[in-house]
Amino acid sequence: LRIHQFFKLVSFTIMLCGQAPLNTKIVGGQNAAPGSWPWQVSMRYQGSHVCGGSLINNQWILSAAHCFALIRYELQDQGTNPNSVSVSVSSITVNPNYNGNTNDNDLALVQLSSTVSFSDYIQPICLAASGSTFYNGTETWVTGWGNIQSGDLQLEVQVPVVGNGKCNCLYGPGSITDNMLCAGLLAGGKDSCQGDSGGPLVVKQGSVWVQAGIVSFGNGCAEPNYPGVYTRVSQYQSWISSVITSNLPGFVTYFSSGTNSDVTCTATAAVISSMNVLFSSIPLFLFPSLLLIDTLF
């Protein structure tokens, strides 16, 4: 029975990605049960959480390019969560167009040295396909460990999409490219600093969870008028498919409902000269050789 289920999962990834059997969360709801975010990955160095990531099939992780500016390897323990799995890394592929100065094309693919078996606690996330739309106000979730030092304490935060036009007004014209997606409260108080760099920004379409963004950068943490900025996953379907040549991740076209209320930037905004690229207080230039695929709560 286990073998049958395993091959079914591998063969029909597109149909079965984005499933979180233990997630009972609704918009505006309370904290979910254990296993709420079964694609969440923790990357650790010397026992500390360093960067987040998302499981996109049984052997690949999607994360941020800026997490891998310098590579250093160290074995890590599995951790205390009985539902977590530690897996060694085989290769890292950073998007060739990544620009560390502008934060454009901030994504990387991490290949595991062996496949992982799916369960209620470990599942791949669907990826937003080319042509997906994320209108201003679309509700999203960002998950991870944030500035918490212990990897056993995970966080989640719900934030609305801020249109690229408005986001460009806030960060300065030209700062936000078509490869980016903004989300956060303009009043401040919630931000992806409560998630972590490289981690997923997800939306729900029907019963399927879809990854819309990757935690990339921001100005400060939860500051008013500075939403978090994410790599827009839907821009990279072709590149991801060119790197992962077998057992492709599931891509789902996400359509926002209603009409887009985004604005065009007409005022000259101050350009942010030094953005907070590293959301975590732990230096993100150190990379472990083991990933901890974990679940929140």
Give the C-alpha separation, 160 to 186, whole Å: 9
- Of 54, 104, 106, 294, the catalytic one is 106
Nearest by Cα to 213 from 190, 185, 180: 180
Q: How far out from the chain centre does Cα 170 lie? A: 23
Q: What contacts 24+ positions apart, CB below 8 Å, involve 237-241?
A: 237/127, 237/129, 237/130, 238/130, 239/95, 240/56, 240/62, 240/109, 240/127
Q: Which residue has the tokens 């078509």?
A: 178
Nearest by Cα to 145 from 53, 273, 217: 53
Any catalytic annotation for residue 197? yes
Any catalytic annotation for residue 4? no
- Of 54, 66, 132, 280, the catalytic one is 66
- Of 197, 234, 280, 289, the catalytic one is 197
Residue 208 carries which side chain, given as an amino acid letter? V
Any catalytic annotation for residue 106? yes
Catalytic positions are 66, 106, 197
